[in-house]
Amino acid sequence: MSNEEIIHKLKPIITTYAPASAALENLNEESDFIKDLNINSANLVDIILDVEEAFGITIDNTSMEKMLTVKASIEVIKEKLSEK
Amino acid sequence: MDNRVVITGLGVVSPNGIGLDQFLSAIKEGISGIKHQQNLSDLKFSCQIAGLPEVSDELAAQYFSPLELRNFNSSGILYGVIAGMDAWKDAGLPLNETHEPFWDYGMVFGAGTSGIDRFREAIYTIDELEIRRLGSTVVAQTMNSGVSAYLSGKIGLGNQISTNSSACCTGTESLLTAFERIKSGKATVVLAGATSDSGPYIWGGFDGMKVCTYKHNETPTKGSRPMSATASGFVPGSGAGAFVVESLTHAKARGAKIYAEILGGHANSGGQRGAGTMTAPNSTAVQRCISKALENAHVQANEIDAINGHLTATAMDALEISNWTMALNRKGSDFPYINALKGMTGHCLTASGSIECVASVLQIHHNFLFPNVNCEDLNPAITALIDAEKVPQKMKSIKINTLIKASFGFGDVNACIILKKYTS
């Protein structure tokens, strides 16, 4: 799965938790969930649960802690997909 | 000098009406909100009827964001937020659009449980070893103060935010606590109220105690019979009532509409001593609560025009009337008018005091007494104490200057408040 395809699949998940903003419109690899997208930190765990469901993967606690940006999330998703 | 305290906003989610207009017309016309509940029947409850406010998804969406409604399953928070936001709007107060909290505006909003259905889902998830899939929303929906937390965030309040809990006294106690905070100058506006979850997991405990009626499963609107000779137990209910309580000075300065003034009140306990137990009242304490409320409000017993009783439709109703006659030293034709809302709503438990206080304030503001329903066969033990005409069976147009309201709860706790028509 390419980075673009992953972002395409991530966008609706992130949109659920992020207030509408230009940063959300222009979601890209550099987007930071909290700093750029203004997501409530309590919702990061919900994003991870939705990502697990959408990609059919399981994300361990250590990997979860890294998923603060789109880029880091793509890396974790790719890693978990390759382990399937 | 202590502040005078007034009520400037009301909100209500009742089994027989959501919003002030619907509720006002329902209580004037004696419309029952009690219906047969299929889920209670499926679960083999003895009492299969209840008062359940029907909140549509469209209505909920006016008060909660789509994100908030994701995995949302807390009926108490739903009712409380609707009633609380309605009261705030009714008072003409703004939502805080700045970064600075409203430091002088606070909240005391009661609850007995929170999100009991959400709690049940979480318990199943945990027991299925799926805790990692629990998500982030369980705590906010199941902490008892969830209703206050949701409301204060939506409005932007910065004074003390608290959730009180004292069984069926909760709603009346919240109004009393708000009064005391404003009277003493600790806040200028307090959003008060109380809410109760709905459903089998909140009502089941009472069904198990056999304190709910099992005789009206086919005749739900006749089931809740306060003061009737054929009262056979209470009908469970749920909902929320809310008040904007404000210092008179603050209300006048912003030109607010004033529904009524709070003169004072009292809360106490019978200590589960004497006749008092976990579930039965100590009459000495009940009478003392009423007397102390009068004293605190500087009101004489003969000034009381109307009583809004606790009156749940159990064997305790006659004892309550007896306590009122003793505490006020008034009986027979000298007794004030008295009415019981539970005939129309059932016993809304934690929320009962707040919904009934909303009804009481509306009576004062609109000059009427709502009818007592389902007591066409008044309990003779009650008519031995007070004249039957003091229990109006039809809506009565009457100017009420001073009204007294009491609530009594498990744990042998009592709360009593005195409301007055506002005059400058």
pLDDT in tens, B377-415: 999 999 999 999 999 999 999 999 999 999 999 999 999
Q: pLDDT per residue over B317-374, tens digit each?
A: 999 999 999 999 999 999 999 999 999 999 999 999 999 999 999 999 999 999 999 9
Distance from CA of A63 to the nearest CA of B (A): 14
- B144 and B123 in a single domain? The answer is yes
Give me the number of domains chain B comprises.
2
- B174 and B297 in a single domain? The answer is no
Residue B257 confidence (pLDDT): 98
Give the residue carrying structure tokens 């903003």: A21
Residue B259 confidence (pLDDT): 98
In angstroms, the CA A27 to CA A49 distance is 20
- B60 and B190 in a single domain? The answer is yes
- Is residue B192 within 8 Å of residue B177, measured between CB atoms? yes
| pLDDT (mean) for B165-172 | 98
Residue B270 confidence (pLDDT): 98
Query: pLDDT band for position A82 (50/70/90)?
Result: very high
| pLDDT (mean) for B212-227 | 98
Distance from CA of B67 to the nearest CA of A (A): 6
- B371 and B406 in a single domain? The answer is yes
- Is residue B120 within 8 Å of residue B202, measured between CB atoms? no
Q: Is A43 on the interface with B (CB under 8 A)?
A: yes
- B253 and B385 in a single domain? The answer is no
- The fraction of chain B above a pLDDT of 90, given in percent, is 99
The CATH number of residue B37's host domain is: 3.40.47.10
| Enclosing domain of residue B406 | 264-420
Give the residue carrying structure tokens 């899939």: B133
A45 CB neighbours in chain B (<8 A) are 135-136
Give me the number of domains chain A comprises.
1
Q: pLDDT per residue over A17-71, tens digit each?
A: 999 999 999 999 999 999 999 999 999 999 999 999 999 999 999 999 999 999 9
End residue of a domain, out of B215, B230, B260: B260
| Enclosing domain of residue A77 | 3-82
- B122 and B237 in a single domain? The answer is yes
- B277 and B232 in a single domain? The answer is no
Ordered alpha helix ranges (H), B209-282: 248-253
**To the nearest whole number, what is the mean pLDDT of chain B?**
97
Burial label for B71, CB within 10 Å (0-12, 13-18, 19+), is middle
A17 CB neighbours in chain B (<8 A) are 67
Determine how β-strand B368-369 pairs with β-strand B396-397.
Answer: antiparallel
- Is residue B322 within 8 Å of residue B377, measured between CB atoms? no
- B155 and B285 in a single domain? The answer is no
The CATH number of residue A65's host domain is: 1.10.1200.10
- B289 and B237 in a single domain? The answer is no
Nearest CA in chain A to B66: A16
| pLDDT (mean) for B172-198 | 98
Phi, psi of B281 (to 5 degrees): -80, 145
B135 CB neighbours in chain A (<8 A) are 45-46, 49
End residue of a domain, out of B197, B227, B260: B260
CB atoms inside a 10 Å sphere around CB B100: 8
**Number of alpha helices (DSSP H) and beta strands (DSSP E) in chain A:** 5, 0
Paired tokens of A63: 């990997």
Model confidence, pTM: 0.96
Phi, psi of B22 (to 5 degrees): -65, -45
Nearest of B131, B181, B152 to residue B88 by alpha carbon: B152
Query: pLDDT band for position B424 (50/70/90)?
Result: confident
- B121 and B59 in a single domain? The answer is yes
- B298 and B252 in a single domain? The answer is no
Residue B1 confidence (pLDDT): 65
Query: pLDDT band for position A84 (50/70/90)?
Result: confident
End residue of a domain, out of B260, B295, B329: B260
